Structure formats: structure tokens, C-alpha cells
Amino acid sequence: MAGDWSPFIQRRWSFFQTPRLIFWMSIFAALLLFLFFHSPPDLSPDRRALASSWDGHSWERRVLASSRPLSKLSASDGRGHLSVLVTGAAGFVGCHVALTLKRRGDGVGDINDAALLYKLFDVVAFTHVMHLAAQAGVRYAMHNPGSYVHSNIAGLVSVFEVCKAANPQPAVVWASSSSVYGLNSKIPFSEKDQTDKPASLYAATKKAGEEIAHAYNHIYGLSITGLRFFTVYGPWGRPDMAYFFFTKDILKGKPISIFEGPHHQSVARDFTYIDDIVKGCLASIDTAQQSTGSGGKKMGPAQLRVYNLGNTSPVPVSKLVSILEKLLKTKAKKHVQPMPRNGDVVYTHANISRANQELHYKPTTDLQAGLKKFVRWYLDYYSGNRKRLYW
């Protein structure tokens, strides 16, 4: 209940009231960039042609058909009657979430374009928004920092702007990241821990997103749930993730780099299988309360939540490689070297007690079983045996 969350919200934000100048400056800069990126639209012929494809009864019929749930009645468990807008449905987590929602009977729409977002809300009264579109990855932020500010901050503001203006307002669930814990040394990571020392720009943009979410919840009454994902892996995953390119390089006989922390400390991650993450996402949607605003005006306190979604079993990267060697029946050419200063952290470990208690979230796939499923998918996909591919 919104009222039940108020004490937590007060405690949480009073705990973080010590100003962090650099952090708030980053938010201010992000808002300026948001205004820049939302300058008058490009009126080139290509842009006009794209915009024209949204118009007309044919387009609206397709949108309505896709977003229409199988049942108009409210199921007791919240399934099969929702109309959910999923941003980033072409991405790793987004595609799995969208397909799972469709399978259980919910209506699903997808877009990551501000102008089209407004158009979609003119056509469909979405009950929920699952915002998964983002620029992911810690290392790439060193090469293209602007893309992170544009997608993770300005993009999030675009979604909140559309949602707060809608009538009725949808409940919003969005992807934060375990990276917000940054240089926090307390293990395991809890939602109550401080998150004001990001180790990367990616982490800083996700932390900024959490603060922006608080503002939209407080000012406009949006019901918002942030999910801190911990090292998600599985079929159809991101090729820039270690488990993915390790698999590729081991099969090709190329050397792989295994990083270690200071004093030869093992680097470990709380690897979380995609199916478990999807269950947490859907549970967040099903338990989300309605927003309390209308047409941009807040009518009462609204739900504001943050959850860790992890596996609670950190595994050293060296163990990950050993499992892959056995599954691929190929010995890896390993090069052990110090971790570079690129924003990565040595260790992650999720405390999921809150998600377990309130979402009934309980991961069931260990790394051995999850990698077995991934390797089977990888070998089928890259062998061209598409008939065996599965979701």
C-alpha cells in the first residue's frame, strides 16, 4: 500500500540527505541535455516518412490488437488482463519479458521513441509501463558517455513525462542496476545501503534515474518500481558480456582474459539467469499499485519501491570459465591479469530478502544449469540449426 511505504521512503531519503555536489551537478547537466535532445523534431523527408507510418486506422488497429489483453476481467493474481507498454523489447531482458507477458495473455506494446510514446498513449490506455530500454554496460561508457546520458537519463525522463501526463496514469516498473552500489563494501548489497559512490558513468546514470524516479513519484503521484538487476545471463544475451564472449573465444581457440582484484583477489559476480529475472519483473508488475495522479496532478501518496533481483550466490569468474570448459569440451587459453580501471567492481552479491518477502521472488537456476541452457542455445544458434531454438 502507498501508505505502508511512506515510512520507508522517509527513512530512505533522510538517510541520503547529505549533499553530494558532483551527483546533483550530474542530474542538472542531464536535465539540460534532456532539453537539448528534445529540441524541435527533424523534418527531413525520412523523418516525415517514419512519422507518417504511425498514422491512419491501419496502424491504430495493429497497436490496439497487440496491446489488447485476452481477458478484460481482473484476475486474482493480476495476470492475463493487463495492457503493458514494454520499452526495449528488442533487447535481452525486454524480449524475454514481452514474450512472457504475451504468453500469459497480457497485451504488449513496444517503443523507445518519445513522439511515438505520446501517440501510443493517445491510442491505448496502458495500465503499466515496463521501461527496459537503456544503454547498458560499464566499459563502453568510457568511449561513448553521451549515449548513456541520452538513453538512461533523458530517455527515462521522456517515459516519465508521458506517463505523468496520461489519464489514467500507468504504474511504471523500470530497470535500474546493481551497479548503483558502486564502491559500497558492505556485503551482501541491500536496498538500504548507501549508493552515492558510483564506480562508473553507467552506475551514475542509473543512480540518477533512481533520484529522478523519486521526484516524479513525489510531485506527480506516479507509482514507480525500480529493479536492480545483478549480472543477467542466458539465451539471446548480450555479446559484450563475459560469459558470451568467453564462449565464443574458447570455441575459436582464442585466449581469454580473466581479471583479478588487488592482492590477487578473485573477481566474482552474482550471476542471475534470465528466467528468474523475468519472474521478478512480472511479479513487480502484478504487485504494482495504481498511480495516484491524473493529467499531471498528484492526488495522493503513491507507491515507490526498489528491489534487488539477483541469485544470492556469487561465483568467481574463474569458476564460470571452468563450467564453460566442461560444457564446451574445450580447454580455455586463460590469461590472468589485474583488473583495469574501467569502472568494474570486484564483487557483487544481492540481498533479496525484500523481493522474496514482497514479490515472492525466489531464483531457481544456479550457474551450472543456466550456462548449460545458454551453451545449448549458443551452439544451435551459431550452427544455423534454427529449428531447435526456443524461448
Q: Write the pLDDT tens digit of every residue in 217-241.
A: 999 999 999 999 999 999 999 999 9
Counted domains in the chain: 1
- In the chain, the amino acid numbered 139 is R
Count other C-beta atoms under 10 Å from residue 322's C-beta: 14
CA distance 310 to 173: 17
pLDDT in tens, 133-160: 999 888 888 889 999 999 999 999 999 9
When pLDDT is averaged across residues 243-263 and rounded to a whole number, the result is: 94
Mean pLDDT of the chain, nearest integer:
84
More confident residue, 171 or 40: 171
CA 339/CA 345 separation, integer angstroms:
9
Specify the CATH number for the domain of residue 355.
3.40.50.720
The proportion of the chain whose per-residue pLDDT surpasses 70, expressed as a percent, equals: 81
- pTM score: 0.82
Contacts of 89 (CB under 8 A, 6+ apart): 95, 97, 98, 108, 110, 132
- Residue 310 — very low, low, confident or very high, per pLDDT cuts 50/70/90? very high
**Cell numbers found for residue 241:** 558480456
Asked if residue 75 has pLDDT above 70, the reply is no
**CB of 278 closer than 8 Å to CB of 100:** yes
Q: What is residue 303's DSSP assignment?
A: -
> How far, in Å, CA of 183 to CA of 316, rounded?
18
Model pLDDT, residue 196: 93
Structural domain harbouring 247? 2-388
The string over 378-390, giving b where at least 16 C-beta atoms fall within 10 Å of a residue's C-beta and e elsewhere, is: bebeeeeeeeeee
Residues with catalytic function: 202
Smallest Cα–Cα separation from 28: which of 238, 170, 215, 192? 215
